Structure 1
C-alpha cells in the first residue's frame, strides 16, 4: 500500500477531551449503523456526519475520509473484543483446561457473532479493508496473554511447541466459529458447537 493510500486509513488526530471523545464515538457508531443497515456505498462523510449529529467540519477535524472512519471502527471493535476475551483468559488461568476451554470458546463465539459485520462482512464486501483486518486481529492483541495462559497449563499439555499450539488452536476455533456464523446453520446449536470445538482443542493439546 502506497503512503498516500495508507494515509486515507489513518485518523487526523486522536480526541483528548470528553466532548471530542464523544464526537468521535458518535461518528464511529453512526458509521457502523449505516454500514450494517445500508451498505458501504451509502456511507458518505456527509451522511455519516448527519446521522452522528455533528457538523462535517467536526468530522474532518478527526478523519480525512470515510476509509479512516471505517478503519477506526475496525480497530475499536477488535480492541473491545480482545479486552473481553482477555478478561476471560485471566479468569481461567487457575482453572483446569477441561473447564476453561469451553468458556474461552464460548466468549470467542459471542464476540465474533456480536461483531460479525466487522469480522466477516466488511473484509468480504469491501476488499480494500482486508489488509486492515489482517493487521488488526484479536489474536495479535492477545498473544502475550494467550502465551501466559498456555504456560500456566504447560504441565498438562502434550505439546512442547507453544507457539505452534497457539497458532493451531486459534485458527481452529476462529475458523470454525466464523464458518458457523457465516452459514447460520440450524443443524448445529451453539452449545453443540462449543462442546465439539472444545473437545477438538483438548485432544489436539493432549490434555
Structure 2
C-alpha cells in the first residue's frame, strides 16, 4: 500500500475541517456552531482540529477564503467570456451574484446575515476588482464620453451598491422584492449610472 505524504494528509484534513465548518454553520447557524460540531462532522477529535485551527473564528476565516476563491473562479470565467456589450456584462454579473448567494443550501445566506461580523474585506475587494476588469474591457471598445478617470470611483460605488443591496434583500426572512425584480433593478441602476 502506498503511503500518503504528511503534507497531503494535512491538506486533506484541513479541507475536511473547512467543509465541516460550512456544514456546521448550515445546521446550527453562525451563533450556535461549535468546534465540537465541526470536529464531529469532520470525523476527527477536537484536539486534532486545534492542531490546524486555533479557534472557531479561524475556521470561519478559512471558510470565507474558500468562498472567496470559488467566487473568484466564477467571476474570472465571466470576465473571460467574449462580450463588450455593457448590458450583457452587467446582467451576467448581477445574475451570477444572485445565483451564488442563493446556492449552497443556505450557507451563503447565513454568512450574508452575519457579514458585518466577518472578515469580508477580501470578498468586497474581489467584487470591486472584478467590476473594474469588466469596465476596462468595456472601455477598450466603448470609451465613456464622460470622465473615464472616475472609473475606479464608479466601480467602488457600483460594487458596494450591488453587494449591500443583495445582502439586504437576501438576509431578510421575507423580502418584499423577488430575486428577478432585484436583478432587473440592479442592472438598470448600473447601466443608468454608467451612462449618466
TM-score, normalised with respect to structure 2:
0.80
Equivalent position of 1:18 in the other structure: 8
**Structure 1 CA distance, aligned partners of 2:29 and 2:177?**
29
**Structure 1 CA distance, aligned partners of 2:96 and 2:153?**
22
Equivalent position of 1:136 in the other structure: 122
Equivalent position of 1:82 in the other structure: 72
Equivalent position of 1:174 in the other structure: 163
Residues 24-65 of structure 1: CA deviation (Å, up to 9, x unaligned): 121112222222222345433233212210233331221122
**Structure 1 CA distance, aligned partners of 2:115 and 2:125?**
17
How far 1:144 moved relative to its partner?
4.4
| Number of corresponding residues | 184
Q: How does 1:150-165 map to 2 (within 5 A)?
A: 150-154=135-139, 155-157=142-144, 158-160=146-148, 161-165=150-154
Q: What SS does structure 2 have at the residue aligned with 1:153?
A: helix
Equivalent position of 1:123 in the other structure: 115
Q: Do the aligned residues in 1 keep the contact of 2:18 with 2:62 (CA within 8 Å)? A: yes
Q: Which runs of 5+ in 1 are unaligned?
A: 1-15
Residues 87-121 of structure 1: CA deviation (Å, up to 9, x unaligned): 11221x53311222111110111222331222x22
Residues 149-184 of structure 1: CA deviation (Å, up to 9, x unaligned): 212212343452101110111122112211221235
Equivalent position of 1:205 in the other structure: 194
Q: What SS does structure 2 have at the residue aligned with 1:88?
A: helix
The 10-residue stretch of structure 1 (145-154 or 166-175) with the greater mean CA deviation from structure 2: 145-154
- Counterpart selection for 1:196 from 179, 185, 190: 185
Let me know the Cα RMSD of the aligned residues: 2.5
**Structure 2 CA distance, aligned partners of 1:142 and 1:121?**
18
Q: Do the aligned residues in 2 keep the contact of 1:88 with 1:104 (CA within 8 Å)? A: yes
Cα 1:47–1:178 change in 2 (3 A) is closer
Q: Do the aligned residues in 2 keep the contact of 1:159 with 1:165 (CA within 8 Å)? A: no
2:61 maps to 1:71: yes
